[in-house]
Structure 1
């Protein structure tokens, strides 16, 4: 019996229908991936423009591969603004709506509770079993707490025989969401009961290509696991950046050499152990802060998570120091890369944006370029920096160039692009993505984490710049 046949038995329906509430940066790819794997999927969003886009066969958000996947699976995809449609046309609903951080760094469940309440009201008129899956990241205790209470109160049902509830967060990164959904390392299932977990496991058996490990547990364990994973990853990033800064000050030291050797130890692993710039984006910073905030509320020492944040916050100042070390009097700075990572226009907690902002606030002239980020997306830089449409324009208007995002576009830059006007620039390349051709064409190719300049020379440069 196939996973889909088993699913039909468990749900008591011969339909292979799923629904996704929330069609944003994660919800739309989820909808497309499920459809690609043979499910009929109906999406819901409070934004009519997102609903219209899906129904017209257009991706409502930018994400590599999303439009192509929608094109190939339009017959199995639809969208609505009505919860009754979701309740009647599906047996399993994934809720993936925002859970913004509050001033206490805890995630707020307002939008999740609103969604499950409206879904519950729609389920009052439906016969048969329905599984509700919370995919949004929530604080430990939320799913079996206020979310369950809201769902049961609105639906008039108790979680159990005819109503399932699971917590099932995604471990993905913007810019590679579809790939990550098809090839996850693991699937995390927090289940209210065995039946709900069985159904969800069958769905993932049918919708992933990587045969991932599936870890089933109660909801609070799954909620804690989610933020613990991201906290551990951010700790590795800050640890690598701490090593890199040590290498800044040790003649002959090279953080890439050190971290490559460290990562070869199976107890540590190679992922996220490369020193470059700090982490950003919509998940890592807030998950780490939430973990530390939870520890403080519980009276648990979370010094490691707090230190991880402090080291990460320091990375922008570290880059400012590199820029000012090489910047001539009245010199101009080009920043290549505003997105927090390649292949996404998202600038939330972006190191490139933070660097541009700090340099501009210090009175420096800053020119910025990003191939996927419009000026409107970086509102905090409005009126402070100069936005240009080409990397060449940014380079020509600068004396120091800083590559802040490891975008493939920057890896293709040629040496002659850095000296077209006869001037040789300083390039700061924390990701080490520029070619040897560029190294030969610039005054200095500076790689943070690699001490190539004697301390006395650095002091000489600072004195000359002053």
Structure 2
């Protein structure tokens, strides 16, 4: 008999996982406490916005259904993925509140379940959470023993919003924290049937997997921040160009080119909180994660630092358009968005700020309130702007031309991602980039002062 899967939590990851598993030919039962989400799935619609999700759910209605009842879902499936929020708490740790509630519901259902059932926690948690925070709940509520009556794994996904379905089905690797050999083997064989690629699988203890997950994210943010540091240095040397530096740097196989752009900082619902959480955990076990703390501090200070550098190029009272208010292209999420931070910082020091984003207009309006005017079209935004800041490399902004800007009152373009360099550099509009020097004379003077007094003919 074919394996039936249940997915608890129909948010962006959970709904995408459920639809993706169904697309591979398996029956899937989605579970959520939100009636609207359940009704949407059962109507063949996406409960949340995510690239390709609506089409995938519609195409797999015969294999995918949803329910409000955890009990029914567990009793009628063989493997349950738990994909619920683990929000940051006041300490900076990941709260287990929602996961614990879901595990109680699952444990209660396991009490009546005949036969073996595998529970897989996918939500991001800190080391020790699965074994000491959640496993006891399953055993208490079910009255059964893990490793005998049911299995338990911790297996987080490595996905990005906007490409969740593709990332889930084609991961670089799968990570399994296993209670025992049986649990891990069952989940590994599950992934082998579901995934589209032949991704390697790394199996280990709960705690090692929990640490590995958060380590991946904090390492990536450290790499982004390192590139941003180099971009700042490139702005201060004659002919400095971050793209030239990172192209060479990324060619080294020990480093690689991914996340080595040199631009604005990272944002979104995951990266910023992960450094804080790792720092909390380090302190809790009597050590320190100083790299994580420094990465977070530098990233949060970046928008204000950039605005301070740009102020001399903006006349007092100028209207500044911030293009890109989501934390990245193809997303409506504005959480920890660098574009939002830029807009707020500019407004706080007296500039009039307008903004535009292809997907994130409504969330941005809520976030910015009376600090900026979020407009409904790019054209309307440009019509009001004297200064334009491109905060995300969205394809909509890549298509801007010199004529688009010259026909309006735009005097200065700040291109944080250097996406319009070929179109705008060397023309009448002042074109400023992050990571490229715009004042060679000043930079040369600094280096002459630093090194020019060296007596090359000295015998000493």
2:223 aligned with 1:245, yes or no? no
Q: How does 1:3-402 map to 2 (within 5 A)?
A: 14-402=1-389
Post-superposition offset of 1:103: 1.4
SS in structure 2 of the partner of residue 161 of structure 1: coil
Q: Contact 1:277–1:430 at 8 Å: present in 2 too? A: yes
**Aligned equivalents of 1:182 and 1:417: distance in 2?**
40
Task: Give the aligned partner of residue 422 of structure 2.
Answer: 436
Residue segments in structure 1 that go unaligned for 5+ positions in a row: 1-13, 458-466
In structure 2, the CA distance between the partners of 1:93 and 1:69, relative to structure 1 (3 Å rule), is: same
SS in structure 1 of the partner of residue 151 of structure 2: strand
**Aligned equivalents of 1:155 and 1:202: distance in 2?**
26
Q: Contact 1:416–1:441 at 8 Å: present in 2 too? A: no
Q: Contact 1:366–1:386 at 8 Å: present in 2 too? A: yes
Q: TM-score, normalised by structure 2?
A: 0.94
Post-superposition offset of 1:210: 2.1
Q: TM-score, normalised by structure 1?
A: 0.92
Q: Contact 1:428–1:445 at 8 Å: present in 2 too? A: yes
**Aligned equivalents of 1:378 and 1:121: distance in 2?**
43
2:435 aligned with 1:449, yes or no? yes
Q: Contact 1:413–1:438 at 8 Å: present in 2 too? A: no
- Higher alpha-carbon deviation: 232-241 or 64-73: 64-73
RMSD: 1.4
Deviations 1:180-205 (A, max 9, x none): 11110010000011111111111111
Q: Contact 1:424–1:441 at 8 Å: present in 2 too? A: no
Q: Contact 2:323–2:388 at 8 Å: present in 1 too? A: yes
Post-superposition offset of 1:322: 4.0
Task: Give the aligned partner of residue 8 of structure 1.
Answer: none
Q: Contact 1:414–1:435 at 8 Å: present in 2 too? A: no
Post-superposition offset of 1:232: 0.7
**Aligned equivalents of 1:436 and 1:169: distance in 2?**
41
Residue segments in structure 2 that go unaligned for 5+ positions in a row: 444-460
Deviations 1:324-346 (A, max 9, x none): 23211221100000111111101
SS in structure 1 of the partner of residue 12 of structure 2: coil
**Aligned equivalents of 1:208 and 1:427: distance in 2?**
44
Q: Contact 1:426–1:445 at 8 Å: present in 2 too? A: yes
